Amino acid sequence: MESVIHPQTNVTSLSSTTTVCPQCFPTMPIGDVIIPALAPNAQSGGVNEPLNLTLGEKVTLEVDVYLTINANVGMKSEVFPPIVRSSSSNSDISTQVTSIPISISFGPASLSALDNVKASTNMTIQVSSSAQTGQYYVSITAFDTANSSIIWGDYFQMNVRE
């Protein structure tokens, strides 16, 4: 135990340091998920450009996965609804949507990724004609099917208009 005096308060406290074993925090394998159509500067660390779609539109985009390990990878996505401004206040609130009429599927949904070799899948996005127009955010996740706590991902803005 070490005694420490805090200069601003003149309060004395006791502190100690515990050594943590290196095996407790293994290094996560490095990986990257890139959507080439949205990331023209991906090799230089660029940011994804927005994807602009209209109601009823269907688009297929390539998704590339680069890992530093050999792994069987599953793909999943999540769509976050537009933020709308409340008419009764100036605060932003998320729309209360129980289901978002935008579907995303991957083909193939599972990949065999090899160390430092590009693995690819196609992501198909279908916007229903009944979808709310606005700015959505889409999260794309690649996960190791043998250990789903190991994940890699990407996200992008999707603008839906009439």
The range of the structural domain enclosing residue 121 comes to 26-161
Q: What is the pTM of this model?
A: 0.75
Distance CA 150, CA 144 (A): 6
Q: How much is the average pLDDT of 25-30? A: 70
In whole numbers, what is the pLDDT of the chain averaged over residues? 82
148 assigned to some structural domain: yes
8 assigned to some structural domain: no
DSSP annotation string for 126-140: EE-TTSPPEEEEEEE
pLDDT computed for residue 83 by the predictor: 72
Distance CA 31, CA 45 (A): 14
Quote the DSSP letter at residue 44: G
* Domains held by the chain: number: 1
111 assigned to some structural domain: yes
Instruction: Answer for the pair 35, 48: CB distance below 8 angstroms, yes or no.
Output: yes
Question: Residue 116: which CATH number?
Answer: 2.60.40.10
97 assigned to some structural domain: yes
Q: How much is the average pLDDT of 85-98? A: 54
Q: How many residues does the chain have?
A: 162
pLDDT computed for residue 120 by the predictor: 96
11 assigned to some structural domain: no
pLDDT computed for residue 109 by the predictor: 93
Name, of 78-82, 95-99, 101-105, the range with top average pLDDT: 101-105
pLDDT computed for residue 41 by the predictor: 72
Question: Beta strand 119-127 with 58-67: parallel, antiparallel or unpaired?
Answer: antiparallel
